Amino acid sequence: MRENPLHEGQRWLEQAQADLQWARHLNEQGAYYLVCFLAQQAAEKALKAFLYAQGEELVVGHSVRQLCLRAAEYDARFQHHLDDWGVLDSYYIPTRYPNGLPDDIPARVYNRQAAQGALALAEAVAAEIEAWFAATVTTGDTPGR
């Protein structure tokens, strides 16, 4: 077990927040396919932050839905977000590779509407995790199995 699981979780959350900041900037610049990808990445990292804070040693996988399902083992609130947040999984590969889309490229397919939806979902994930960390630090609860 890590010496300080909460600290490790906070490191992952900080990176998720940085990814979201850049996603917002790229959204303003019109790089919508990159916004969708970074939104998925930010949500993935935020959920991993929660899992590391629980004391997990190695959190593998990239599926937001699956990470949310694992998080629900510690906190039932996450169960309610599976279907909504899981949509972000559809941005993991097709936003990055031309062969992820039939006869087109991500730079032409992903638009402002897709980017704004992805960003809103990722911000919701981050907000939920941020609130959990804030409550944990305030109450002094020590997470872990």
Which run of H or E residues covers position 135?
helix 112-139
Q: Quote the pLDDT of residue 145.
A: 40
Domain-by-domain residue ranges, the chain? 5-138
Q: Is 139 left (phi over 0), alpha (psi -120 to 50) or beta?
A: alpha
DSSP labels, 10-49: HHHHHHHHHHHHHHHHHHHHT-HHHHHHHHHHHHHHHHHH
The residues near 64 (Cβ < 8 Å, ≥ 6 apart) are: 40, 43, 44, 47, 85, 86, 88, 89, 125
**Architecture of domain 5-138 in CATH?**
Up-down Bundle (1.20)
pTM for the full predicted model: 0.93
Amino acid at 18: A
pLDDT tens digits, 82-115: 999 999 999 999 999 999 999 999 999 999 999 9
pLDDT digits (tens, 9 = 90+) for 58-87: 999 999 999 999 999 999 999 999 999 999
Helix, strand, coil fractions of the chain, as percent rounded to 5: 75, 0, 25
